[in-house]
Amino acid sequence: MNRLKVVVLFGGMSTEYQVSLQSAAAVIDNIAYDKYEVMCIGITEEGKWLHYVGDIQRIRDDSWHQVESCRAAIFNVDRSQPGIMLLGEDGRYQHIHVDCVFPVLHGKNGEDGTVQGLLQLSGIPYVGCDTKSSAVSMDKVFAQDLVKSAGIATTDYFYVTKYTYDDKRIDSLIKKSFGYPIFVKPSSSGSSVGITKVYDATSLDQAVQHAFKFDGKVICEKEVRGIEVGCAVYGNVELATGVIGEIEPSRDFLDYDDKYLLGEIKQHVPARISLALLEEVRQRGMEVYRILGCMGMSRVDFFITPEGEILFNEINTMPGFTASSRYPAMIAAAGISYSDLIDRLIELARE
């Protein structure tokens, strides 16, 4: 049987670079090599695109780009020859045909439609959402506004930009709208990067300025008392989901280090809610997926209040993808192994 040539794309100029390395290593470790010929293309934090051949551990510990055999690689945007242009030892670029790309990239410059646009121009099938849905879903304000306009309940929020920000006016608006505490977040960032919990006006400006380091648009969101659940959705036209999962944090608020470096999250799959709520979250997750025009896969996150109200929180078009990450764990609970999930996502990319 002829194997499909699949490029696993990892790294990137993103604050979530390290998360991408761990996710990609898991994909490379679990993909079915009897079906696929795997080619690894890494993007350094400085933006160099390199073909990497070597041990998976070097990806995990971020020493992959130090390997001397790494060669420059770029996607060929000539749609008549979809594939990779690889720099050879003779200084010439060699064209290599590619059947599918799995962009295991998180955050800006990877999950936000930029790479997806490049791949669409190249005519290469790729795993995940298209350019438009990736860009819209990455921006919390755009996603919240679209979902809310479709009649789905969301958290209470407003946003400010670097050009309109006035700390006294924002403090007044918070007090009039929903009061403290609030969460201040970069609008286009994931993995809890740049997020601060603000209890009163004294720390508001510092939190907003911190979020502005990651994005020019910042969302101020009312704290929701309740539990956080996620719905793992996959498919293009016909959709399916994993089992609804719940996050049990070890303390009040978890930042990036807590989630990804210290592992301060406990998952419950299925979530500890009624069967009726489990099904309602599942249906709501697929509805949000369709509203935002998603394809391939996404994880849709909600809050459930003590009164049982389901509130849309955010969507991740390329969620954490290690074997123990939330998305694969929810899919596994539905009886689909990690390797089979990779198969299905590649099939969806090539439909």
To the question of whether residue 90 is assigned a binding role by annotation, the answer is no
To the question of whether residue 226 is assigned a binding role by annotation, the answer is yes
- And the tokens for 30? 């679990």
To the question of whether residue 192 is assigned a binding role by annotation, the answer is yes
To the question of whether residue 225 is assigned a binding role by annotation, the answer is yes
Task: Give the residue numbers marked as catalytic.
Answer: 16, 191, 325
To the question of whether residue 301 is assigned a binding role by annotation, the answer is yes
- And the tokens for 57? 């551990």
To the question of whether residue 227 is assigned a binding role by annotation, the answer is yes
In angstroms, the Cα distances linking 116 to 138, 270, 312 are: 13, 32, 25
Q: Where are the alpha helices (DSSP H) in the chain?
A: 17-30, 56-60, 114-122, 131-138, 140-149, 167-177, 204-212, 256, 275-291, 326-333, 338-349
To the question of whether residue 140 is assigned a binding role by annotation, the answer is yes
Nearest to 99 by CA among 5, 1, 9: 5
> What backbone torsions phi and psi does residue 310 show, to the nearest 5 degrees?
-100, 120
3-state helix, strand, coil in the chain (%, to 5): 35, 30, 40
To the question of whether residue 242 is assigned a binding role by annotation, the answer is no
To the question of whether residue 279 is assigned a binding role by annotation, the answer is no
Residues 103, 16 contacting (CB under 8 angstroms): no
To the question of whether residue 221 is assigned a binding role by annotation, the answer is yes
To the question of whether residue 191 is assigned a binding role by annotation, the answer is yes
To the question of whether residue 223 is assigned a binding role by annotation, the answer is yes
| Burial (CB count <10 Å: 0-12, 13-18, 19+), residue 93 | middle
Omega into 103 within 30° of 0, i.e. cis?
no
To the question of whether residue 213 is assigned a binding role by annotation, the answer is no
To the question of whether residue 185 is assigned a binding role by annotation, the answer is yes
Residues 310, 279 contacting (CB under 8 angstroms): no
Q: Residue 89: left if φ>0, alpha if ψ -120 to 50, beta else—which one? A: alpha
Q: Could you tell me the maximum CA-CA distance found in the chain, to the nearest angstrom?
A: 67
Distance CA 270, CA 268 (A): 6
Distance CA 180, CA 174 (A): 7
Binding-site sequence positions for Mg(2+): 301, 314, 316
Binding-site sequence positions: 140, 183-185, 191-192, 221-228, 301, 313-314, 316
Binding-site sequence positions for ATP: 140, 183-185, 191-192, 221-228, 313-314
